[in-house]
Amino acid sequence: MNEKIGGKETYMQREIHEECGVFGVYDPAGAADVAADAYYALFALQHRGQESCGIAVNRDGVIRVHKDLGLVRDVFTKENLAALGHGQIAVGHTRYSTTGAVSRENAQPLVVSHVNGQMAVAHNGNLTNAAELRRQLELSGAIFHTTNDTEVISYLITRERLHADSIEQAVERAMPKLLGAYSLVIMSPRKLIAARDAVGFRPLCMGRMPGGKVVFASETCALDSIGAEFVRDVEAGEIVVADDQGVRSIRTHCRARAHTCLFEFIYFARPDSVIEGQSVHEARLQAGRILAEEYPTEADVVIGVPDSGLDAALGYAQASGIPYQIGFVKNRYIARTFIQPEQGQRENAVRIKLNALASVVHGKRVVMVDDSIVRGTTSARIVTLLREAGAREVHMRVSAPPFISPCYYGTDIDSKEKLIACQMSEQEICRVIGADSLGYLSVAGARQIAAGAHCDFCDGCFTGKYPAATPREMDKDKFEQPANITE
Q: Which of residues 244-263 bind a second copy (CB under 8 A)?
A: none
Among 31, 69, 81, 443, binds a second copy (CB under 8 A): 81
Stretch that binds a second copy, among 41-49, 85-93, 397-405, 431-439 (CB under 8 A): 41-49
Residue number, 331 or 415, with CB nearest to a second copy: 331
Does 331 engage in binding with a second copy (CB under 8 A)?
A: yes
Does 358 engage in binding with a second copy (CB under 8 A)?
A: yes
Question: What is the nearest approach in angstroms of a second copy to the Cβ of residue 235?
Answer: 23
Does 279 engage in binding with a second copy (CB under 8 A)?
A: yes
Question: What is the nearest approach in angstroms of a second copy to the Cβ of residue 304?
Answer: 10
Using an 8 Å Cβ cutoff, are 254 and 237 in contact?
yes
Residue number, 245 or 425, with CB nearest to a second copy: 245
Residue 19: closest CA among 412, 453, 435: 412
What is the rounded CA–CA span in Å between residue 101 and residue 476?
Answer: 8
Does 348 engage in binding with a second copy (CB under 8 A)?
A: yes
* CB atoms near residue 224 (< 10 Å): 19
Stretch that binds a second copy, among 355-363, 391-399, 436-444, 467-475 (CB under 8 A): 355-363
Q: Map the footprint of a second copy across residues 393-432, applying CB under 8 A.
A: none
Residue number, 54 or 200, with CB nearest to a second copy: 54
Question: What is the nearest approach in angstroms of a second copy to the Cβ of residue 43?
Answer: 6
Residue number, 131 or 407, with CB nearest to a second copy: 131
> For the purposes of burial, counting CB atoms within 10 Å of the CB of 101, is it exposed (0-12), middle (13-18) or buried (19 or more)?
middle
What is the rounded CA–CA span in Å between residue 461 and residue 67?
Answer: 32
Using an 8 Å Cβ cutoff, are 22 and 273 in contact?
no
Q: Look at strands 259-261 and 456-458 and give their pairing.
A: parallel
Residue number, 123 or 270, with CB nearest to a second copy: 270
For residue 307, cis peptide bond before it (omega within 30 degrees of 0): yes
Q: Which residues of 257-288 are buried (b: 16+ CB within 10 A; e: fewer)?
A: ebbbbbbbbbbbbbbebbbbebbbbbbbbbbb
Does 40 engage in binding with a second copy (CB under 8 A)?
A: yes
Does 342 engage in binding with a second copy (CB under 8 A)?
A: yes
Q: Map the footprint of a second copy across residues 435-474, applying CB under 8 A.
A: none
Does 326 engage in binding with a second copy (CB under 8 A)?
A: yes
Q: Map the footprint of a second copy across residues 198-237, applying CB under 8 A.
A: 221, 224-227
Q: Alpha carbon of 284 to those of 222, 279, 316: distances in Å?
A: 20, 9, 10
Among 198, 274, 413, 433, binds a second copy (CB under 8 A): 274
What is the rounded CA–CA span in Å between residue 351 and residue 331?
Answer: 9
Question: What is the nearest approach in angstroms of a second copy to the Cβ of residue 463?
Answer: 27
Residue 199: closest CA among 16, 472, 478, 466: 466
Stretch that binds a second copy, among 245-253, 257-265, 352-360, 405-413 (CB under 8 A): 352-360
Does 142 engage in binding with a second copy (CB under 8 A)?
A: yes
* CB atoms near residue 485 (< 10 Å): 6
Question: What is the nearest approach in angstroms of a second copy to the Cβ of residue 113?
Answer: 4
Using an 8 Å Cβ cutoff, are 108 and 97 in contact?
no
Does 188 engage in binding with a second copy (CB under 8 A)?
A: yes
Residue number, 13 or 437, with CB nearest to a second copy: 13
Question: What is the nearest approach in angstroms of a second copy to the Cβ of residue 365?
Answer: 18
Q: Which residues of 129-139 are buried (b: 16+ CB within 10 A; e: fewer)?
A: bbbebbeebee
Per-residue x/- track, 150-169, a second copy (CB under 8 A)? ----xx--xx--x---xx--
What is the rounded CA–CA span in Å between residue 56 and residue 92?
Answer: 6
Does 172 engage in binding with a second copy (CB under 8 A)?
A: no
Question: What is the nearest approach in angstroms of a second copy to the Cβ of residue 413?
Answer: 23
Using an 8 Å Cβ cutoff, are 37 and 84 in contact?
no
Residue 10: closest CA among 449, 334, 409: 334
Does 118 engage in binding with a second copy (CB under 8 A)?
A: yes
For residues 110, 112, 117 and 123, what is the CA-based torsion angle, rounded to 10 degrees? -30
Question: What is the nearest approach in angstroms of a second copy to the Cβ of residue 252?
Answer: 18
Does 347 engage in binding with a second copy (CB under 8 A)?
A: yes
Using an 8 Å Cβ cutoff, are 110 and 120 in contact?
yes
How many chain residues interact with a second copy (CB under 8 A)?
A: 101
Q: Known catalytic residues? A: 20
Q: Map the footprint of a second copy across residues 59-78, applying CB under 8 A.
A: 61-62, 71-74, 76-78
Stretch that binds a second copy, among 23-31, 174-182, 266-274, 392-400 (CB under 8 A): 266-274
Q: Map the footprint of a second copy across residues 284-303, applying CB under 8 A.
A: none
* CA 70 to the chain's CA centroid: 16
Residue 327: closest CA among 288, 382, 381: 382
